[in-house]
Amino acid sequence: EPEVTQTPSHQVTQMGQEVILRCVPISNHLYFYWYRQILGQKVEFLVSFYNNEISEKSEIFDDQFSVERPDGSNFTLKIRSTKLEDSAMYFCASSESRDRGHYGYTFGSGTRLTVV
């Protein structure tokens, strides 16, 4: 079964440092997302991406965050200057095209970001 692949599985970074979280969505999916989950809490939407641009972003997704699809397969989330409160599990997800209806999102296994 197709998978969404995320790397690294765990990232530890110093406060103020930049991090890039990487994702390879399912190849025929056109819609890509980043969500985050602080330990023990619910899954929160960060940003959605379609046709090489952001289609929607949440209040969490401020100027410190950016997304990119640099080469047609990878989908990256960059946090420019990490804060302690950015510590969370970050999930990438993708979904099928609009024309095929909606079959749910496929989530990657996540990157646990720890800011120290």
Closest approach of Cβ 39 to another protein, in Å?
11
Options 55, 73, 81, 114; binder of another protein; rule CB under 8 A: 55
Q: How many CB atoms lie within 10 A of CB 2?
A: 11
Site residues (CB under 8 A) for another protein, limited to 20-49: 31, 33, 35, 42-45, 48
For the chain, the C-alpha Rg in angstroms (whole number) is: 14
Number of residues that bind another protein (CB under 8 A): 26
87 touches 114 (CB < 8 A): yes
For residue 56, the 8-state DSSP code is E
Residue of the chain from 10, 80, 83, 98 that contacts another protein (CB under 8 A): 98
Pairing of strands 19-24, 75-79: antiparallel
Sketch the per residue contact string, 4 through 23, with another protein: x for CB under 8 A, - otherwise: --------------------
The region that residue 45 occupies, defined by phi over 0 for left and psi between -120 and 50 for alpha, beta otherwise, is: beta
Among 22, 24, 50, 65, binds another protein (CB under 8 A): 50
Question: What does DSSP assign to residue 80?
Answer: S
Contact residues for another protein, defined by CB under 8 A: 31, 33, 35, 42-45, 48, 50, 55-56, 58, 91, 95, 97-98, 101-110
